Copies of this chain bind each other. A is one copy, B any other.
Amino acid sequence: MTPRPAPDWRTTDWLNTPEPLTLERLRGKVILLHAFQMLCPGCVARGIPQAQRVAEVFAGAPLVVVGLHTVFEHHEAMKLESLRAFLHEYRVRFPVGVDAPGEGGDPIPRTMRAYAMQGTPTTVLIDAQGRLRRQVFGMHDDLQLGAELQTLLLEAQTGPASGAQRPAPQKVPAACDDSGCR
């Protein structure tokens, strides 16, 4: 099955970034899109911390972590001012977009609808060509997420079309680490 292009994001506001982010502007980078609600216990306890660790562990790699606030219930309780305070208190540093309200009374916001997300947290992986490659509802295993991100990073390194060179090992130094093995 051929990967399809990831749907564009429909947002009303952005926090933690001087200007709105779009798929087009991020082309060439692997994207971890973390969809959450600020009052979703699983997001707060596990999803958001995982997204933050991805940003730290893969700092330096051509990878961007982007949050998406996909409120589909308790809309009055999670407005922009509350989200702003939430990000401040939880020290969330990555950019966060606010998903645009659903059309025609739809409680599901527009980007969430376009990706057919089942709920929050949802983790979406988009490759450097802007294609949707992975979407997981609920918690995602760290070991597996690390492997999946690395696959997309190595693909990006070889280039989508050519693929003529073998990917240089990334994050695996040529020999041993500081711990020795002379």
Contact = CB atoms under 8 A, between A and B. Distances in A.
A169 B133 contact: yes
Q: Give the one of A41, A81, A85, A132 with max B CB within 10 A.
A: A85
Interface residues of A, number: 73
B78 A82 contact: yes
A21 to B, nearest CB: 20
A136 B179 contact: yes
Interface string A128-170: 0000111111000111111111111111001000111111011
A137 B53 contact: no
Contacts of A154: 150-151, 154, 167
Given A142-B146, A152-B172, A90 B41 contact: yes
What 10 pairs between A and B have smallest CB-CB spacing?
A146-B146, A163-B166, A77-B85, A142-B142, A74-B85, A147-B150, A143-B146, A137-B179, A116-B180, A1-B174
